[in-house]
Amino acid sequence: MPSRSESRESRDSDADERGLFDLTGRTVVVAGGAGLIGTALSAGIAEQGATVVVADAAPERGRAVAEDVDGAFVETDVTDEASVESLFETVVAEHGGLDGLVNCSYPRNANYGRRYEDVTYADWRENVDLHLNSYFLVTHRASLVMREAGGGSVVNFGSTYGVQAPDFSVYEGTEMTSPVEYAAIKGGVRNLTRYVASYLGRDGVRVNTVSPGGVFDEQHPTFVEEYERRTPLGRMARPEDLVGAVVYLLSDASAYVTGHDLRVDGGWTIC
Ligand SMILES: NC(=O)c1ccc[n+]([C@@H]2O[C@H](COP(=O)([O-])OP(=O)(O)OC[C@H]3O[C@@H](n4cnc5c(N)ncnc54)[C@H](O)[C@@H]3O)[C@@H](O)[C@H]2O)c1
């Protein structure tokens, strides 16, 4: 066992190596931290020295991720006002403050993913409500807690499909599509982010989006082949590809960056 002073020295030297990207002593909430992308982000953020609080509606996976990263889990429904308020109260009470928020939950109803012709008005409304409105709720409450404490960083998850329209040819020969709600939700998240970045800039709260391209998750092989063919870097994203962008936006390395949309898409949106 290393002595206390040895552990402190090794922590200090880790922090020196991380330099501007060091997150030691910071508390970062990862909403959706038990998901495909959130699991990788939780690990990557903890690796930079932060205390990660996984906030997710899935308690079993959420607890497992929190345990893996030596962090905490708070069962949270991001679509519920009382649950979101209680999340940030708990974080401030138990960790002494809130330095970062990563919003990468993906709430949707059972009919999400239908083709354009089959989307009912009720499903459109529910899915836009669950996803876009919860991103507002979580951003709003976290950013005001940060303002009170003198600053912080919010990273919202957008998508390439919040930047440009889908190329439907990549879905040909499969049952897959890109849902119409997603275009409105992710375009909305991107512009919501810019609004809050502008509103809270002078309060030291930075707000940015990360817009990933498609992440490989055992999709239909025809889709994967077509997606890779259309992507300049020639492959789909891996969850780990998103870690660097998020750590950058949470850390002092991005101290003069706000309202930005950082695309991590293998070049998809340049074509
Ligand atoms: N996977 C991709 O290809 C991709 C591409 C671009 C953007 N994104 C975006 O990245 C984000 C994360 O996507 P993912 O693929 O990791 O999704 P995912 O479905 O794997 O994970 C989402 C997480 O959100 C949690 N969640 C759902 N509803 C919730 C609620 N009401 N309250 C709290 N937690 C809830 C789920 O339990 C899950 O752990 C989303 O915003 C998504 O739109 C994903």
Pocket test for ligand 1, best of 106, 112, 126 (most atoms within 8 A of CB): 106
Question: What integer pLDDT is reported at residue 200 of this predicted model?
Answer: 98
What lies within 8 Å, CB to CB, of 159 at 6+ separation is 182, 186, 211, 212
- Where does residue 241 fall: left (phi above 0), alpha (psi -120 to 50 degrees), or beta otherwise? alpha
106 within ligand 1 shell (Cβ under 6 A): yes
192 CA from centroid of ligand 1 (Å): 18
* Domains in the chain with CATH codes: 24-266 (3.40.50.720)
Question: What integer pLDDT is reported at residue 10 of this predicted model?
Answer: 65
Question: What integer pLDDT is reported at residue 2 of this predicted model?
Answer: 46
Helix (H, G, I), strand (E, B) or coil at 110: coil
First to last CA, the chain: 54
106 CA from centroid of ligand 1 (Å): 3
The list of the chain residues with pLDDT below 50 reads 1-4
Q: What are phi and psi of 52, to 5 degrees?
A: -100, 130
Question: What integer pLDDT is reported at residue 43 of this predicted model?
Answer: 98
Task: Give the closest residue to 23 by CA, choosing from 252, 270, 212, 234.
Answer: 252
- Where does residue 115 fall: left (phi above 0), alpha (psi -120 to 50 degrees), or beta otherwise? beta
Cα dihedral 172/176/178/180 (nearest 10): 110
* Residue pair 163/213 in contact by the 8 Å Cβ criterion: no
Give the ligand 1 atom nearest the CA of 34: 39
Helix (H) or strand (E) holding 74: strand 72-75
123 CA from centroid of ligand 1 (Å): 18
| Rg, the chain, Cα only | 19
Q: How far apart are CA 33 and CA 254, in angstroms?
A: 22
37 within ligand 1 shell (Cβ under 6 A): yes
pLDDT digits (tens, 9 = 90+) for 124-164: 999 999 999 999 999 999 999 999 999 999 999 999 999 99
* C-alpha count within 13 angstroms, C-beta hemisphere, residue 134: 26
pLDDT digits (tens, 9 = 90+) for 17-52: 889 999 999 999 999 999 999 999 999 999 999 999
Give the ligand 1 atom nearest the CA of 33: 39
Question: What integer pLDDT is reported at residue 95 of this predicted model?
Answer: 98
Pocket test for ligand 1, best of 29, 30, 36 (most atoms within 8 A of CB): 36
Integer angstrom CA distances of residue 84 from 78, 137, 164: 6, 8, 31
Is 182 part of the annotated catalytic residue set? Answer: yes
Catalytic residue among 182, 227, 248, 256: 182
CA angle, 66 as apex, 243 and 91 as ends, to 5°? Answer: 95
Q: How far apart are CA 68 and CA 155, in angstroms?
A: 22
Task: Give the closest residue to 255 by CA, choosing from 155, 153, 158, 157.
Answer: 153
134 CA from centroid of ligand 1 (Å): 12
